[in-house]
Amino acid sequence: MEFRPCIDIHNGKVKQIVGGSLKDLGDQAQENFVSGQDAAFYARLYQKNNLKGGHIILLNASDSPYYEATKRQALSALRAYPGGLQVGGGITADNASEYLEAGAAAVIVTSYVFREGRIDYDRLKKLVHTVGREHLVLDVSCKRVEEKYFVVTDRWQKLTEEIVNEALLEKLSAYCGEFLIHAVDVEGKAQGIEQELVKSIGSYAGNPITYAGGVHSMEDLLLLKKLGQNRMNVTIGSALDLFGGNMKWEDVLSVCSAS
């Protein structure tokens, strides 16, 4: 298990929010933490500690009045730590190269590929052709509906028909280098991980997976490590001391790196 750091940017500021509260209308979100530092500060911190594979997420829609400020923060972080971070939020085949040229190790994509409720293979293949499989991370963030987990798009606001399970990961693995999964129902709530989701994909041994959502204690972290068979990587946001939480990130690094 690897610890993958994060930089979430909303309305031009580094924040931790409750994932399910995000609304494009009025650029609203329930905030857990708003940093006084800019995105580049966190990028340099991660670089200093040799943490790679972390993700920057732009949480404003491209037509938001805050989008340009959010994008500037993202680009400044990429330039501060070239080759060390991934970036997602509004990425398409048309703009992906801009972020890679700014220093992104990979681009993270959901809505462009999961279009009108299902996988758009034409767009997916176009992305692979544009950036290369190794520079593409597919975000299969999801919400639970009854007993299944469905991919959500458009900043976690729209349900698709695609069910997150090992079969979906196997199907998509040929097109990307990694997967990112936010468990949106528990994202930012610090009430524990989405155990059934982790169990459902815990045996998958293909592309690396980074899980985000609900980790708020060392017990959560150890449970994720067990259910994910020590292969699933983890992001921790609101619960981390870097973002006002109680989990010391040095302790998190120690637990993740232990065999």
> In a 10 Å sphere around its CB, with 0-12 CB exposed, 13-18 middle and 19+ buried, how is residue 245 labelled?
buried
Residue among 31, 18, 20 at smallest CA distance from 189: 18
Residues in the chain: 259
The pLDDT-based confidence of 194 (bands split at 50, 70, 90) is: very high
> Quick one: pLDDT at residue 49?
94
* Rounded-to-integer distance, Cα 196 and Cα 208, Å: 19
* Domain positions in the chain: 6-250
pLDDT over 80 (residue 25): no
Question: Which tokens is 94 given?
Answer: 């048309």
Query: Is the Cβ–Cβ distance between 77 and 85 less than 8 Å?
Result: yes
pLDDT over 90 (residue 24): no
Alpha helices (H) along the chain: 39-48, 67-80, 96-101, 121-131, 166-172, 195-201, 218-227, 249-257
Decide which of 204 and 22 is more confident.
204
The pLDDT-based confidence of 230 (bands split at 50, 70, 90) is: very high
Q: Is 253 helix (H, G, I), strand (E, B) or coil?
A: helix
Q: What pTM does this model have? A: 0.94
Query: Is the Cβ–Cβ distance between 221 and 215 less than 8 Å?
Result: yes
CATH number for the domain whose boundaries are 6-250: 3.20.20.70
Q: Could you read off the pLDDT of 37-84 as tens digits, one per residue?
A: 999 999 999 999 999 999 999 999 899 999 999 999 999 999 999 999
